[in-house]
Structure 1
């Protein structure tokens, strides 16, 4: 039951991140059409929209890759909180950077949450690697102690 709940939360988190990406992308397209700009920036609002989209594209794929590795190795207790923290961080950051009257503290909080998500993912990878080492050592000890 708990595993099903965690897997559902994980899947919905990934879907939500895709929707955030889509919204940021649509915002850039809308502002480019509105200002008739194909490349570059003609105004601050477009520049901020592009940076919000770019920052999302620069951080989320790598963290998602780590979460997939953890998910497919049954470490849901790392990847689910990691994605929830990432969602809050990216949402706060995108909202803060897109606003012309930027609240720097919100942007900072968004980046901190993003990095906390990354740290949690790295902790999960270290845990996974330590499990691999432990079980391979245990298997080699069992095969050397018990003759066949």
Structure 2
């Protein structure tokens, strides 16, 4: 997806504006299990549906917080955070993350992205800070809010 009028040259004009909202993404047990396998975090509240049904305050398994955090980058790219005239966009870091509401297995999430600031670093490099709100379908509070940093590299 692209954002109308959004480019390396016009990026300053978008500071303070919502860039967009991604499509919904399913966070099912298969995705949670795959994340557990990649990271080694096999805590029962994530990977044992039977025990979680009996013992968890959430009535079933929940996604890892870092799994939900890891979804932000691809969903921001889907929205169009990296302008078409940039040659690359790279993760640069996080300034603030708060996990607000657990994501239950089978829930759908989406990312609402607002451009907070732009810092031109020279050499065609631009640091952009965005506010990301990972919303859970049917829930009032978001799964998380995070200020993320990305480095854009212009083609010029």
Q: TM-score range by the shorter chain?
A: under 0.3
Q: Which has the higher helix share?
A: 1
TM-score (structure 1 length as normaliser): 0.27
Larger fraction in strand = 2
Q: TM-score, normalised by structure 2?
A: 0.26
Which structure has the bigger radius of gyration? 1
